[in-house]
Amino acid sequence: MTRQDIINEIKEKTANFDASSYNGFLAVQVTLRDLNEPFYVEIKDGKLSVEPYEYYDRQANLTISTSDFQKMINGNLNSVIAYTTGKLKIDGDIEKAKELSGLFKKP
Q: Cβ distance 60 to 93 under 8 Å?
A: yes
pLDDT tens sequence across 26-82: 999 999 999 999 999 999 998 999 999 999 999 999 999 999 999 998 889 998 999
Phi-psi region of 92 (alpha: psi -120 to 50; beta: other; left: phi over 0): left
Name the phi and psi angles at 34, rounded to 5: -75, -25
Assigned CATH topology for domain 3-102: Nonspecific Lipid-transfer Protein; Chain A (3.30.1050)
- Give, in order, the Cα–Cα distances in Å from 40 to each of 18, 77, 100: 18, 20, 10
pLDDT tens sequence across 74-107: 889 998 999 999 999 999 999 998 888 877 765 5
Q: What is the pTM of this model?
A: 0.88
What DSSP string describes the chain? --HHHHHHHHHHHTTT--GGG--S-EEEEEEETTTTEEEEEEEETTEEEEESS--TT-SEEEEE-HHHHHHHHTTSS-HHHHHHTTSEEEEE-HHHHHHHHHTTS--
